[in-house]
Structure 1
Amino acid sequence: MAGRNGLQRGGTAMAGTPTQGLGPAHAGGTPLSPADQAREAVVEAALGALDLDAKARLLAGQNMWSLPALPEIGLKSLVMSDGPIGVRGVRWTSDDPSIALPSPTALAATWDPALARRAGTLLAQEARRKGVHVLLAPTINLHRSPLGGRHFEAYSEDPYLTGRIGCGYVSGVQEGGVGTTVKHFVANDAETERFTVNNVVSERALRELYLAPFETIVAGAHPWGIMTAYNSVNGTTMTEHHHLVGEVLRGEWGFDGINVSDWTAARSTTGAVEGGLDIAMPGPRTVYGDALARAVRDGQVEEAKVDEAVRNVLRLAARVGILEGAEPVVTELPGTVDGEALAREIARRSFVLVRNDGALPLPTGHKVALIGAAARDARVLGGGSAIVFPARIVSPLDGLTAALPEGTVTYALGADPNEELAVADKGFELRAVCRDADGNVIGTGSAPGGHIQWMGDDLPEGVTHATLHTVELTGTFTPRVSGPHTFGIKGLGAFALTVGGTTYFDDVQRPETDDRFEGLFRAPTPHAQVELLAGEPVDVSLTYVTTLPENIPMPVIGFTLAHQEPRRDPDELIAEAVETARAADTAVVVVATTERVESEGFDRSDLRLPGRQDDLVRAVAAANPNTVVVVNSGSPVELPWRDEVAAVLLSWFPGQEGGDALADVLTGAHEPGGRLPTTWGTFEDAPVTQVTPADGRLEYGEGVFIGYSAWEKEGRTPSYAFGHGLGYTTWTYESIEAEGTTVTVRVTNSGARAGREVVQVYLAPTDADADRPARRLAGFAGVEAGPGESAEVTVELPRRAFEIWDETSNAWAFVKGAYEVQAGRSIADRRVATTITV
């Protein structure tokens, strides 16, 4: 490749390029501030006061979420918590509620780094309230394929947009005095065989795509932590990957934060230390601690390597204010953020209106038929470790009923996508009773939602693992509807399930795979069908025998009582919905995925909506031409009826205030502000769908062509293109000018109401090779204007937009020549263009 098309080889230190951090070794050429120097002095003094055993102990989790305190140097215990949409804290329970923001795909759909920064500030506020020092977020892996199971937990298919949103998020969290761990480093883009898969990725694809957002965030937001992934990259597991961690992350980019393993990812003591892993989580059994101290004494590891890791951990402790003598980075906290208000704002700013034939906003006085299971029981977040427990959830039915005049909203179930049991929730009042081997009660705890997840020593007061023999979920269930209710169990081990005094299951649920988290992510197993009457309470009990496996990092007790309401005939439900829609002026159908479609722990096999929801939409649209479909999913689904309805609004997983935000947008109180952060299309047309390894290897054979660049290369037309999104006004692109790499775009609000536009700038080499994308997003800016008003935005094109990774010289190469700079509303709707030569 070198020498063609005017390639100019260069190193990584280029003006305007995200290349270097601001570490203590001055990797980026920037001297430490006096405050940083003072913290470094405290860190060095503390390090010098520790013996080998204490140092090794500090690098290993003492439990699920924290590192040990070392009082001899004035170090408090460092506490971490899952994110990214909220701060769960150290307990998996709704006893300590968390604000639940919209999904990361929703945050990216705002195309607003400043809003992401405000979200980060709120999460820092939540973390400090819960005694958390480090948030295990954000996830900045790319949407390589729409089948990725945690697609909803990442931002975008585009590395530039991902990096910009991630910078805002990290900056906001850390400005609140709380650390972040940007994850999962790197190429952790699917869930199938995630613990063992070897992802085979070219160096060019790594640099231009998968490493790019990490590099941007290290340079632009200086994160205090990185989390390394379970998977291997090109034959080396990421917790031992010296090249990517030591040479690239720390060496080239100057990263000076901690490198923590994904939970249970660390496999080898010497391999992890030599690979640059600082912290092995969780504890107390890890590859560090006593094992690390022995490795040093046996001559397998140099103590200097241990010191490097300890220094990084102490630096983090100093930054967050838990190392005596060191002033924290943040001494004056940001102002208090109203969490519910911000969650509502992000949601409505994230909604993407992809189609509108004039049905929205809803005309005043219209009678509205609201249809769909997800309209009543909203799905506001994705499954897996991203789960938090908000104090309240506003469903679309709640929000629209409150916003519209009394009597104007009718509701019908239509089609229920939940084809399997869900966590016991509506109508259940449960508590946990802990007993010893003799059957004596030794403690009790709350159990809202029928879910128990006790990790490490997080047990009810008075209970220890040594004395605990059984946990019983017990209480009552009051049905909403009459008929045959199904009860079941999610979890592994010995259980007894009793409903209404009858025991329906007393046996063992055994694992079906070797996934160590199968008990958490597997589908519930049905075991009882009981005829019940609406409004009449019935006693329920689920007893679990707490047998813990050998050689686990820490004891975990996790299981769930699951339930499903009576299943009515789908055709009958659809017919009822049709009659409800026919009697209304506008029908609003909410379709959704379920936890078995989008969650951590597995990938999708297709992009279809579950159940009979497609049939429901078509039937309602045939009965009412003013049919609006709200798509409640965190990632792309097929919309085979999209041209048969009046409007399609994508609401993602909208967080706890999603129902009120939806009412804001449907009624026109606010316009939908989102633009697609990833391409939506059919499974048949999607260019990259391989997420299942073959013999343990997953080849990233598409190279640098994922997302919109792959759609363009293949000449395929998606349902809705990257960057697409409509508002309630129209925009005219008047002009574009470029002076050097500074681009100015003038737009006019040519509609009848105020609005916000996201001006997107794409850079297209005029003589691109077949192995280079036709165009890439190179900048964007939001602009607001009233009717008839004009505005200008200025976008600075980064040097990296003109570069490719040259695998011959193993360096970035600046590609000289002519480029067309295109600005518009999406990758497929480019309105104005100019040419520059570099």
Structure 2
Amino acid sequence: MKYKEIISKMTREEKASLMSGKDFWQTMDIERLGIPSIFLADGPHGIRKQAEAADHLGLNESIPATCFPTAATVANSWNEELAMQMGTYLGKEAVEQKVNVLLGPGINMKRSPLSGRNFEYFSEDPYLAGKLAAGMIKGIQSYGISACVKHFAVNNQEERRMSIDTIVDERTLREMYLTAFEMAVKEGETKAVMSAYNKLNGEYTNENMDLMKQILRDDWNYDGVVVTDWGGSNERVAGLIAGNELEMPTTAGETNQDIVTAIESGEIKEDVLDQCVDRLLDLVFTTEKAFKQKPKTVDKKEHHQMAQRVAEESIILLKNEANILPLQQDKTVAVIGDFARETRYQGAGSSIVNPTFLDHPLDLLEETELNSIGYEQGFDRYGKRSTRKINKACALAEQADVVLLYMGLDEVTEAEGLDRQSMDIPANQIELLDALYEVNPNIVVVLSCGAAVEMPWMTKVKGLVHAYLSGQAGAKAVQRIITGAVNPSGKLAETYPLRYEDTPASHQFPGKEVSVEYREGPYIGYRYYDTADVNVLFPFGYGLSYTSFGYSDIKVSEEGVTFNITNTGEVAGKEVAQLYVRCQSKAIFRPDKELKGFIKVDLNAGETKTVTLLFDDKTFRYFNVKTNQWEIESADYKIMIGAASDDIRLEDVIFIEGTEAPLPYDKDKLPSYYSGKVNDVSIEEFETLLGHKVPDPKWDRNKPLGYNDTIAQCQYAKGLFARFAFKLIKLSHKFLWKIGKRDTANLIMMSVYHMPFRGYARMTGGVINMPMVDGVLMIVNGHFFKGMRHVLRERKKLVKLNKDKGEFGTSKTGEGEVL
């Protein structure tokens, strides 16, 4: 241990106190030993440090900080160096705001396009996500503070995220859902990892010994800190045994006492606690050094310009019929759409950043050379239909050569804690587009959303620029792309299917009650579409440019692949070359191709560059469930260089000597997985892949509700009061949504409806404790008066205890928490 001497001077109670927060965002300090508190703040794409009332939901405004493009946007840059540079800017701002641990990046896989938090994650591909995350982590930590990669692991839905049980086979887990984390740990050398809320194959992730001990600590040699997601601790002692050092936020000492009691009873040895304290102290002392240097002064304009640069490399040109873009100066333009007036630039929830500046498209019109003839709102961003708005927009469009239409998803549709209900753009926007097409077919759409959407309207637009959620300077970046000042170079980090029903997990997303089954196995995103030969709207890796590129002269060796790229057009541009690998053997099922490398190349018109992509330890491996380790199959491997997953320009073959491991599968029993057609796998075949039976995915309606059950389940409760509360919450949500209070309606679903009962103790900083939750559960289960007496009695005890400690009347979490 590094801090054995300090730890030897601590009481058992002091050591336990370090294992949970001091308040909502800070760790506990021990002044007599010189151990300071450290501050943790949300920050996947900008610092969200709240100056006053603390919450985890993005309700209260934070100190202004640069709002960079979200991870879903940055991924489209396919530029690891750019991600690292963005990370350095984040790290510098964190130091200025005295933030020790920046809670990001988020690297969960995009299993389904409907996952509500996709805007905060990089990709459907673990290699791309891992490389970009590693780069960003290096940048953040270059200033001495810590990144905190999240959410470990398989947190791929928002509905019931605090209690859902993710059922996934071991090979899929390792190859698809853990590889990006492995890269973040090994290549990015992250100092902190955040455990996910959900269960993994029956155990909460922060208590899962296979995940936390065997894989994270032993296989990957991780020696940093694991912190729970806020309110994400189930059994505190079980989490500590698994190596989960820090529980956040504070529980006002309740779970610290659980640790002390467990040691005193012999349930765990004190060495377990000491090891966790040692790792936490290392995080505390190493990050505190960042603030002892000369204070970093942030140039807000410089950081705004960096946000613009990231956006410019990440925005994607998806359609450019008849070269309608870039817009010509002699063409008149009608600007239409609510998102032109008030830009959509980030998601909702704990990652909300209070930007230092904020560009809006309309405000920038005077700076451009666009020949604008005016603006019309055209639609209400929250979906309300208006014939008057459409008619006014059409009247303006008739007078213009080109219609510049800003469309997208609104702020309450893409939010933490809630999954999307469909892949549709709101109907009132499509109604407007249809009407505009009738009067002027020269339409260029600027799309703003953080995840894939269906586009049955694509035939009615000539140009499509996808801005994703491009941060506070995104509007300026879009303007520079549509005017030709910047040549677009973004490429999709996720596939756009023709319709939701085409997605491999459509039958198994989200898990509604006890569990969610990953029956599609490793076939997510392009791995499925390319293997099962399913047509898509836009393939993984796709993106247009104002120039063209040629590929030639491929050479493959045991070290890697070399080839030439030539800019065959008339303007300078950047091309993303992608390395895919296909195993030619059919002995073990695999996707048709898998991304194993990429590079972004900057080329002047007519210029040729020679590019080399090296193979690494992930190029040919697969996880063998029989040997329980990574293996390589002896086989011919096709090496493919492409401009997108379906646009392969160069090919060659190399034989790779393998590890000669035993075959892990019986091919005859897994026909769906060997064909890749996995969008509707039977439960019997899935259980064969798993190697065991799946749990019943439905709630037991006759069982009393417990700590990990939710308000949603109160519809089946024995207690009349609980059933009434359930109906009241449902009615409140419906009413608030109808009157336009959609943020509040979403908040009810996220922080009340889907919150496990234990969460009310874990998230209220000691205002409610677990004995009080016991009383609430008595009420819920039909013992109203007994339960109410228990709640009042335990509340009285808690008040007295706090008075005795001199703490009564002071909330440890600040004001404004959601109870």
Residue matched to 2:99: 132
In structure 2, what residue type is equivalent to 1:677? A
Q: Which runs of 5+ in 2 are unaligned?
A: 55-59, 657-819
2:259, 2:294 → 1: CA distance?
A: 35
- Say which is worse superposed, 198-207 or 684-693, in terms of deviation: 684-693
Which residue among 275, 280, 290 is the counterpart of 1:308? 275
Residue matched to 1:397: 362
Q: Does 1:265 align with 2:232?
A: yes
| Contact kept? 1:400, 1:409, Cα under 8 Å | no
| Contact kept? 1:744, 1:794, Cα under 8 Å | yes
2:408, 2:112 → 1: CA distance?
A: 20
In structure 1, what residue type is equivalent to 2:597? G
Which residue among 659, 672, 676 is the counterpart of 2:488? 672
Which residue among 393, 413, 424 is the counterpart of 1:577? 393
Task: Give the structure with the larger helix fraction.
Answer: 2
CA shift in 2, pair 1:143/1:94, >3 Å: same
In structure 1, what residue type is equivalent to 2:362? L
Residue matched to 1:361: 326
Residue matched to 1:47: 7
Cα distance, 1:391 vs structure 2: 2.7
Cα distance, 1:58 vs structure 2: 0.8
Residue matched to 1:548: none
Residue matched to 1:632: 448
Alignment of 1:197-596 (within 5 A): 197-285=164-252, 288-321=255-288, 338-357=302-321, 358-404=323-369, 408-419=372-383, 570-596=386-412
Cα distance, 1:799 vs structure 2: 2.8
| Contact kept? 1:731, 1:749, Cα under 8 Å | yes
2:295, 2:80 → 1: CA distance?
A: 22
Q: Percent identity?
A: 32
1:332, 1:762 → 2: CA distance?
A: 45
2:438, 2:4 → 1: CA distance?
A: 72
- What's the TM-score once normalised by structure 2's chain length? 0.76
CA shift in 2, pair 1:333/1:222, >3 Å: farther
Which residue among 162, 170, 179 is the counterpart of 2:137? 170
CA shift in 2, pair 1:328/1:743, >3 Å: farther
Alignment of 1:94-109 (within 5 A): 94=61, 96-109=63-76
Deviations 1:501-523 (A, max 9, x none): xxxxxxxxxxxxxxxxxxxxxxx
3-state SS of the aligned residue for 2:349? coil
Which residue among 127, 131, 149 is the counterpart of 1:182? 149
Residue matched to 1:708: 526
Cα distance, 1:687 vs structure 2: 2.0
Cα distance, 1:683 vs structure 2: 1.0
In structure 2, what residue type is equivalent to 1:820? K
Cα distance, 1:73 vs structure 2: 2.2
3-state SS of the aligned residue for 1:343? helix
Alignment of 1:588-737 (within 5 A): 588-681=404-497, 682-689=499-506, 690-693=508-511, 695-737=513-555
1:789, 1:292 → 2: CA distance?
A: 64
CA shift in 2, pair 1:73/1:108, >3 Å: same
3-state SS of the aligned residue for 1:182? strand
Q: How many residues align?
A: 645
Cα distance, 1:55 vs structure 2: 0.7
Cα distance, 1:328 vs structure 2: 9.0
| Contact kept? 1:197, 1:232, Cα under 8 Å | yes
Deviations 1:692-712 (A, max 9, x none): 225401111111110101112
Q: Does 1:818 align with 2:785?
A: no
CA shift in 2, pair 1:245/1:652, >3 Å: same
3-state SS of the aligned residue for 1:801? coil
Cα distance, 1:271 vs structure 2: 1.2
2:585, 2:293 → 1: CA distance?
A: 49
Cα distance, 1:318 vs structure 2: 2.2
| Contact kept? 2:39, 2:100, Cα under 8 Å | yes
| Contact kept? 1:187, 1:210, Cα under 8 Å | yes
Deviations 1:300-339 (A, max 9, x none): 22111111110110111122135xxxx9999998997821
Deviations 1:327-372 (A, max 9, x none): 9999998997821001111111111111111111111232211111
Alignment of 1:783-798 (within 5 A): 783-798=601-616
Residue matched to 2:617: 799
Cα distance, 1:723 vs structure 2: 0.1
Cα distance, 1:800 vs structure 2: 1.8
Cα distance, 1:769 vs structure 2: 5.0
1:701, 1:331 → 2: CA distance?
A: 53
In structure 2, what residue type is equivalent to 1:726? L
- Say which is worse superposed, 763-772 or 749-758, in terms of deviation: 763-772
Deviations 1:217-239 (A, max 9, x none): 11101100000011000000012
| Contact kept? 2:21, 2:28, Cα under 8 Å | yes
| Contact kept? 2:568, 2:605, Cα under 8 Å | yes
Residue matched to 1:113: 80
Which residue among 72, 88, 103 is the counterpart of 2:32? 72
2:635, 2:294 → 1: CA distance?
A: 49
More relative contact order, 1 or 2 (CA 8 Å, 6+ apart) = 1
Deviations 1:425-452 (A, max 9, x none): xxxxxxxxxxxxxxxxxxxxxxxxxxxx
2:250, 2:548 → 1: CA distance?
A: 56
3-state SS of the aligned residue for 2:526? helix
CA shift in 2, pair 1:134/1:812, >3 Å: same
1:825, 1:119 → 2: CA distance?
A: 25
Task: Give the structure with the larger strand fraction.
Answer: 1
Residue matched to 2:595: 777
| Contact kept? 2:361, 2:479, Cα under 8 Å | yes
Deviations 1:637-694 (A, max 9, x none): 1111112211111101111111111111111111122100000122132222232225
Cα distance, 1:770 vs structure 2: 7.0
| Contact kept? 2:324, 2:463, Cα under 8 Å | yes
CA shift in 2, pair 1:335/1:781, >3 Å: farther
2:372, 2:335 → 1: CA distance?
A: 10
3-state SS of the aligned residue for 2:255? coil
CA shift in 2, pair 1:136/1:112, >3 Å: same
Residue matched to 1:86: 46
